[in-house]
């Protein structure tokens, strides 16, 4: 093994160890850093807040466990917000594991102060359907063809929360929590553009810039929750100190550490360049 | 190929002529798609088993991991089939005695205690690689990389709670320089402009590719070299 390779590997280990310590400490000893509400999150919040009482809102769980750190706190906060406003929550999933994510999110919120919420009346989990955009297009024509029953096998005609919903256009708003495709993009293309249903959503921080083009005057997308910071902003708006708020401290410190690494890397590169130039001149 | 041509043209035409028989035809094609998609999942699983079995039988490098993958697949499928998942029952019902012992159904137990932590861990590892890559690769070498670096620093800080902490004291008339607002500006204008350009180009590409498939110029989906 060459000296340079050994040095690189040593540096990597130092970076990994430092990052591990820096991420762990704020999780054990929260810093309580303040979060500022951004317009994108405020708009998403307002969509739920200003919806008429007892609105039927679809929360689509279009993600799997790999992104729960960012998306599950959003789901929990949105469910809590919907229930506070007296809305009915209809959970769907365009990803196979989404139905389990929905179940976990409902259980969490129920355990944390909403034990009076009844399955079938205040919320329902319709489960996973394959097909992405095509499934949503079919939902636009007839809800019952795509979801004849919920996860428990109860026909949707017998579920109180589903009464009066014949097609996608009967839904008051959609929140798609999306980790990729199919997900928020499909909801924008079908529910928002074609059936004029209000659509908002949440994505991982890395995907959020790609969706900003849809936040426009035509309101293809009403607000956007991008990553853990947006989840912590939503928690602040509903007055809850949840997982996102706590984890945000760790993420903030980790980002600053990455900036420090970039600075050190640049100083190192500058010194190497200067050394090489001097050697060439000599 | 003829089927693709006919169905492709009908679906396109139905978007512009929302009258019979196009609406009903499109509806039928959507049902076909959903049925085919369901079978594609089964096909994918068969393919997964075949590929892994081949690697295991040939004792290829890291074959043990393929074996573990296959065992995991079968364990989850068997548990799911026998006792179901969440509220849905399986062939042996809800498995009340097992639920009494482990607190939940076997499928859900593995999902919650193995799959979720492993998945989240895999995704979290990215943070370590990003930190290491940023140290080694994010180097200022030219004017463009300088611009990129300045933008990245503003956005990184703006996306943390430190952003508001650092420039929260600025007076109202300098609010544009408040880091979270500056970040929003960068994301809303330069980023959106670039994203739209990429989206429009990609959409044109999709139209081109779709036309090639519908017209039979592109036939690789049929197993052809063209």
Contacts A–B by Cβ distance under 8 A: 149
Residues of chain A with pLDDT > 70: what percent?
100
A152 touches chain B (CB under 8 A): yes
What pLDDT is attached to residue A17?
A: 95
What pLDDT is attached to residue B89?
A: 83
What pLDDT is attached to residue B47?
A: 95
Q: How confident is the model at residue A25 (pLDDT cuts 50, 70, 90)?
A: very high
For testing the chain B interface, which of A68, A100, A215 should be mutated: the one with the most B CBs within 10 Å? Answer: A100
Residue B221 lies in a domain: yes
The residues spanned by each domain of chain A are 39-244
Residue B99 lies in a domain: no
Q: What is the pLDDT of residues A35-78, one digit of tens each?
A: 889 899 999 999 999 999 999 999 999 999 999 999 999 999 99
Residues in chain A: 282
- Determine the Cα angle at A224 with ends A136 and A198, to 5°: 45
Q: What is the pLDDT of residues A231-258, one digit of tens each?
A: 999 999 999 999 999 999 999 999 999 9
Residue A142 C-beta-side C-alpha neighbours within 13 Å: 11
Q: How close B80 comes to chain A (CA, Å)?
A: 13
Q: What is the pLDDT of residues B15-47, one digit of tens each?
A: 888 788 888 888 888 888 888 888 888 899 999
Residues 6+ apart with CB under 8 A from A27: A246, A247, A249, A250
What pLDDT is attached to residue B226?
A: 62
Question: Is residue A224 predicted with pLDDT exceeding 80?
Answer: yes
**Beta strands across the sheet bearing A173-178:** A123-128, A88-93, A56-62, A173-178, A198-203, A225-226
Question: Is residue B225 predicted with pLDDT exceeding 70?
Answer: no
CB contact under 8 A, A35 and B161: yes
Measured between alpha carbons, how far is A86 from A109 in angstroms, rounded to an integer?
14
Residue A253 C-beta-side C-alpha neighbours within 13 Å: 19
CB contact under 8 A, A254 and B111: no
User: Terminus-to-terminus CA distance in chain B, angstroms?
Assistant: 13
Residue B164 lies in a domain: yes
**DSSP for residue A119:** B
Residue B38 lies in a domain: no
Chain A: residue whose CA lies nearest to B120? A66
Which residue among A130, A135, A153 places its CB closest to the CB of B41?
Answer: A130
What pLDDT is attached to residue A65?
A: 93
Which residue among A135, A141, A151 places its CB closest to the CB of B34?
Answer: A135
Closest by CA to B181, choosing from A39, A204, A34, is: A39
Q: How close A6 comes to chain B (CA, Å)?
A: 15
Q: How many distinct structural domains can be found in chain B?
A: 1
Q: What is the pLDDT of residues B95-140, one digit of tens each?
A: 889 999 999 999 999 999 999 999 989 888 888 998 899 888 888 8
Question: Is residue A1 predicted with pLDDT exceeding 70?
Answer: no
**DSSP for residue A183:** S
Q: Work out the mean pLDDT of chain B and round it to a whole number.
A: 89
Q: How close A262 comes to chain B (CA, Å)?
A: 5
Backbone angles phi, psi at B22, to 5 degrees: -65, -40
Residue B150 lies in a domain: yes
A275 touches chain B (CB under 8 A): no
Residues 6+ apart with CB under 8 A from A241: A235
Q: What is the pLDDT of residues B41-84, one digit of tens each?
A: 889 999 999 999 999 999 999 999 999 999 999 999 999 999 98
CB contact under 8 A, B134 and A249: no
On chain A, the residues whose CB falls within 8 A of the CB of B132 are 12, 15-16
A148 touches chain B (CB under 8 A): no
Match 């300098």 to its residue by tokens: B174
What pLDDT is attached to residue A71?
A: 96
On chain A, the residues whose CB falls within 8 A of the CB of B38 are 130
3-state SS of chain B is CHHHHHHHHHHHHHHHCCCCCHHHHHHHHHHHHHHHHHHHHHHHHHHHHHHHHHHHHCCCCCHHHHHHHHHHHHHHHHHHHHHCECCECECCECCHHHHHHHCCCHHHHHHHHHHHHHHHHHHHHHHHHHHHHHHHHCCCCCHHHHHHHHHHHHHHHHCCHHHHHHHCCCCHHHHHHCHHHHHHHHHHHHHHHHHHHHHHHHHHHHHHHHHHHHCCCCCHHHCCCC
- Give CATH for domain A39-244: 3.40.50
Residue B63 lies in a domain: no
Measured between alpha carbons, how far is A167 from A150 in angstroms, rounded to an integer?
16
Measured between alpha carbons, how far is A163 from A105 in angstroms, rounded to an integer?
23
Measured between alpha carbons, how far is A185 from A199 in angstroms, rounded to an integer?
10
Q: How confident is the model at residue A16 (pLDDT cuts 50, 70, 90)?
A: very high
Residue B198 lies in a domain: yes
Q: What integer is the mean pLDDT of B154-178?
A: 84
Residues of chain A with pLDDT > 90: what percent?
81
Chain B: residue whose CA lies nearest to A134? B30
Q: What is the pLDDT of residues A197-215, one digit of tens each?
A: 999 999 999 899 999 999 9
Residues in chain B: 226
ipTM of the complex: 0.83
Residues 6+ apart with CB under 8 A from A60: A91, A92, A93, A94, A98, A174, A175, A176, A177, A178, A183, A187
What pLDDT is attached to residue A191?
A: 96
What pLDDT is attached to residue B88?
A: 80
Which of B201 and A280 is assigned the larger pLDDT? B201
Measured between alpha carbons, how far is B151 from B39 in angstroms, rounded to an integer?
47
Q: How close A23 comes to chain B (CA, Å)?
A: 10
On chain B, the residues whose CB falls within 8 A of the CB of A153 are 88
What pLDDT is attached to residue A176?
A: 97
A200 touches chain B (CB under 8 A): no
What pLDDT is attached to residue A82?
A: 97
Separation in Å, CA A203 to CA A70, A208, B30, B40, B191: 8, 6, 27, 27, 17
What pLDDT is attached to residue A18?
A: 94
Question: Is residue B155 predicted with pLDDT exceeding 80?
Answer: yes
A138 touches chain B (CB under 8 A): yes
Residue A23, Cα to own-chain centre: how many angstroms?
Answer: 21
Q: How close B89 comes to chain A (CA, Å)?
A: 8
Q: What integer is the mean pLDDT of A111-130?
A: 95
Residue B68 lies in a domain: no
Which residue among B120, B164, B192 places its CB closest to the CB of A212?
Answer: B192
Query: Could you tell me the residue range of the domain that residue B155 belongs to?
Result: 139-226
For testing the chain B interface, which of A194, A261, A271 should be mutated: the one with the most B CBs within 10 Å? Answer: A261
């Amino acid at each position: 093994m060459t000296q340079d390779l050994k040095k690189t590997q040593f540096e990597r280990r130092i970076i990994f160890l430092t990052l591990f310590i820096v991420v762990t400490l704020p999780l054990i000893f929260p810093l309580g850093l303040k979060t500022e509400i951004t317009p994108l999150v405020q708009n998403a919040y307002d969509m739920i807040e200003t919806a008429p009482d007892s609105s039927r809102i679809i929360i689509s769980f279009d993600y799997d466990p790999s992104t729960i750190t960012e998306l599950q706190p959003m789901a929990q906060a949105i469910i809590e917000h919907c229930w506070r406003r007296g809305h009915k929550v209809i959970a769907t999933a365009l990803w196979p594991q989404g139905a389990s994510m929905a179940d976990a999110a409902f259980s969490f919120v129920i355990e944390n102060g909403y034990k009076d919420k009844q399955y079938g009346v205040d919320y329902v989990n319709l489960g996973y359907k394959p097909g992405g955009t095509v499934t949503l297009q079919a939902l636009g024509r007839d809800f019952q063809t795509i979801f004849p029953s919920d996860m428990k096998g109860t026909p949707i005609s017998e579920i109180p929360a589903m009464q009066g919903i014949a097609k996608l256009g009967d839904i008051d708003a959609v929140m798609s929590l999306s980790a990729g495709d199919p997900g928020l993009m499909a909801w924008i293309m079908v529910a928002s553009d074609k059936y004029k249903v209000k659509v908002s959503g949440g994505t991982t921080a890395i995907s959020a810039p790609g969706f900003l083009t849809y936040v426009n005057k035509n309101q293809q997308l009403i607000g956007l929750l991008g990553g853990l910071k947006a989840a912590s902003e939503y928690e602040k708006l509903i007055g809850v100190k949840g997982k996102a708020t706590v984890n945000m401290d760790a993420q903030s410190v980790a980002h600053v550490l990455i900036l420090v690494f970039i600075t050190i890397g640049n100083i190192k590169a500058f010194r190497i360049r200067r050394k090489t130039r001097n050697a060439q001149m000599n | 190929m003829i089927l693709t041509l006919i169905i492709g043209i009908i679906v396109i035409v139905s978007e512009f002529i929302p009258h019979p028989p196009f609406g009903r035809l499109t509806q039928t094609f959507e049902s076909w798609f959903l049925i085919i998609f369901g079978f594609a999942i089964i096909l994918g699983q068969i393919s997964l088993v075949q590929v892994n079995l081949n690697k295991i039988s040939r004792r290829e490098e890291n074959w043990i991991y393929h074996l573990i993958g296959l065992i995991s697949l079968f364990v989850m499928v068997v548990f799911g089939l026998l006792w179901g998942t969440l509220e849905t029952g399986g062939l042996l019902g809800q498995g009340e005695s097992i639920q009494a012992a482990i607190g939940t159904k076997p499928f859900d137990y593995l999902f919650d205690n193995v799959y979720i932590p492993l998945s989240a861990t895999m995704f979290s590892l990215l943070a370590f690689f990003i930190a290491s890559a940023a140290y080694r690769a994010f180097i200022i070498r030219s004017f463009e990389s300088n611009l990129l670096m300045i933008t990245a620093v503003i956005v990184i800080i703006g996306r943390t709670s430190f952003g508001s902490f650092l420039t929260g004291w600025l007076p109202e008339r300098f609010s544009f320089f408040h880091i979270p607002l500056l970040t929003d500006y960068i994301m809303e204008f330069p980023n959106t402009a670039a994203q739209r350009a990429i989206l429009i180009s990609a959409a044109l590409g999709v139209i081109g590719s779709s036309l090639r498939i519908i017209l039979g110029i592109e036939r690789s989906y049929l197993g052809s070299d063209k």
